[in-house]
Amino acid sequence: MENYLLGLDNGGTMVKAVIFDGNGKEVAGAAAKLRMITPEASMTERDMEELWEANCQVIREALAKAGGGAAEKIRGIACSGHGKGLYLWGKDNKPAYNGIVSTDGRAWKYPEQWQKDGTAEKAFEKTYQRILASQPVSILNWFKEHKPEVLENTQWIFECKDYIRFRLTGEAFAEKTDYSGSGLMNLRDRCFDEELLALFGLKDLMRCLPPLKNATDVCGAVCKETAERTGLREGTPVSGGMFDIDACAVAMDVTDEKNLCVIAGTWSINEFLSKTPVLDGTIMMNSIFALPEYYLVEECSATSAGNHEWFTEMFLQQEKEEAKRLGMNVYQYTDRLAAEVGPADQNIIFLPFLYGSNYDPRAKACFVGLDSHHTRAQIIRAVLEGVVFCHMVHIEKLLLHMKPSAIRLAGGAANSPLWVQMFADVTGLPVEIVKVKELGALGCAMTAAVAAGLYSDCKDAAKHMVTIGDRVEPNMENHKIYQKNMSFTARCLMRCLPFGAISLRNNRTAALALFDFRTKASMRECRRL
């Protein structure tokens, strides 16, 4: 009987269930859009029961598409999901609150406070990472201050995919790749640490942290209730799974130190593998990778393709209709428009801070340099370029510590040939795309394959289940233009500020991060804000 593997990918906007065979070929899949709840500015939540039902729905649909007997062929299941954020399960066997999504910025003041009072420096000795507003450690402090009754009722502190696995199996575990980016875990000793939690005033919540497991460990099996709701076979093994950025890296065969992994989705994720963490303060985050001999060295921010999706939904309804008439989707249509403008012809910039920035959670998005002569094509191109520029801020930091042979690109941007070429041109590096599109689902399915004994580890699984597709070389003339444009734009932006054309005084760090690019003049001008 053929071996199937099921991967569940719970991202920032979508949930997907994809069935693969043992060679990584997609057999069937289904997806559902997730509803975002925004009770206040900077807050992004989702209903945890709706999320679970969406997972059940896409599983049922994927099994139906795979044909009769598919459930019996599934050797293992695993989940990936967005990192950071927070999903609390109550003592009353219900969600204790809405799930908090990784784009949430409500807890912005706590990292600032910990930076000032020395807590962040002390914590870094164990966490190996900068504290972010979107991490559980920050959000838990927000609950402690604003809704302590929620924490009193909390039985389990989950990350997104660990909550879904809990609903699949009825067993609570904390998988290391996810929790190592939570601010709650000691990366030096690879454990939860009571002293660390005490630093953040969270010692009493140690009881709520589930037992730690590796990505490829078996973490229970499909329970009877889940089998009835989904059509899965009761008793099917469920592995630990992975943080989605780890899953995408594994699914792109980033299993050694040669390639840089870039994920352009809801978040800007830029990462590489290292056998030692980067501890000199230049890097935002180190975390545990699915291959235990490696750390994942990461620079990230919510400044990526999610901005383009929002812009399209809000302002391009006419383009949607025109695209439909021409037999293409709206993104293909907008790519065609943006391709009409070359980098040398562009003189506006988009700051992709719709969901804040890890440099400043209060950062706001805007267009700079916009006037009446600009066309739709230029505005759309500015959105695409702004996302790539923000990625480049992070990539430059990573390049101080490694010299990649190529970038492996995933996420929504990887589906756009124009956007892929932009990444190559801005970075000056070749960009490679893998043939399978649902990388988060494939990566976690690979952990299920290892847990089921089909492969020895994730590196072995990658050899059999990953196929690298197109490679795009950079246009070095465009690369030179982009370098000049970025420096010029920084100077123009600074001149606008005194006249009140835009207000970025709360975005000082974000503006600095976006436009520095090692330009001393720009640095001086940013510091005058």
Cα distance between residue 44 and residue 500, in whole Å: 30
For residue range 107-165, list pLDDT tens digits in order.
999 999 999 999 999 999 999 999 999 999 999 999 999 999 999 999 999 999 999 99
**CB–CB of 395/517 below 8 Å?**
no
SS3 351: strand
Residue 470: count other Cβ atoms within 10 Å of its Cβ. Answer: 13
Predicted pLDDT of residue 346: 85
Number of folded domains in the chain?
1
CA distance 500 to 517: 25
Task: Identify whether 250 is part of a domain.
Answer: no
| Residue 37, domain member (yes or no) | yes
Residue 62 within a domain: yes
Residue 54 counted as domain residue: yes
pLDDT tens sequence across 397-433 = 999 999 999 999 988 899 899 999 999 999 999 999 9
Q: What is the pLDDT of residue 507?
A: 40
pLDDT tens-digit series, residues 69-109: 999 999 999 999 999 999 999 999 999 999 999 989 999 99
Q: How many residues can be counted in the chain?
A: 529
Could you tell me the residue range of the domain that residue 206 belongs to?
A: 4-240
Backbone CA torsion sign across 44, 45, 50, 51: positive
d(CA 84, CA 134): 6
Amino acid 508: pLDDT: 40
Q: Which amino acid is at 73?
A: K
Residue 480 placed within a domain: no
Predicted confidence (pLDDT) at residue 19 exceeds the cutoff of 60:
yes
341 domain residue, yes or no: no
Residue 285 lies in a domain: no
**Chain segment 256-315, per-residue pLDDT in tens:** 999 999 999 878 889 999 999 999 988 989 999 999 899 999 998 888 998 998 999 899
The C-alpha angle 466, 296, 236, rounded to 5 degrees, equals 55
Mean pLDDT of 498-519: 37
State pLDDT tens for residues 342-376: 999 888 889 888 888 877 777 788 888 889 999 99
C-alpha to C-alpha distance for 34 and 15, rounded to whole angstroms: 7
Q: Is the Cβ–Cβ distance between 51 and 15 less than 8 Å? A: yes
Instruction: Provide the b/e sequence for 99-116 (b: ≥16 CB within 10 Å).
Output: bbbbbbbbbbebbeebee
User: What CATH number corresponds to the domain at position 161?
Assistant: 3.30.420.40
| Model-wide pTM > 0.95 | no
- The pLDDT of residue 488 is 56
**Does residue 524 lie in a domain region?**
no
Amino acid occupying residue 413:
A
- Report the alpha-carbon distance of residue 99 to residue 225 in Å, rounded: 22
- Give all strands (DSSP E) within 74-198, no chain letters: 74-81, 87-90, 99-100, 154-158, 174-175, 185-186, 191-192
pLDDT at 489: 52
Q: Is the pLDDT of residue 528 over 80?
A: no
Q: What is the DSSP string of 247-315?
A: HHHHHTT--SSS-EEEEESSSEEEEEEESS---SS-SSEEEE-SSTT-EEEEEEES-STHHHHHHHHHH
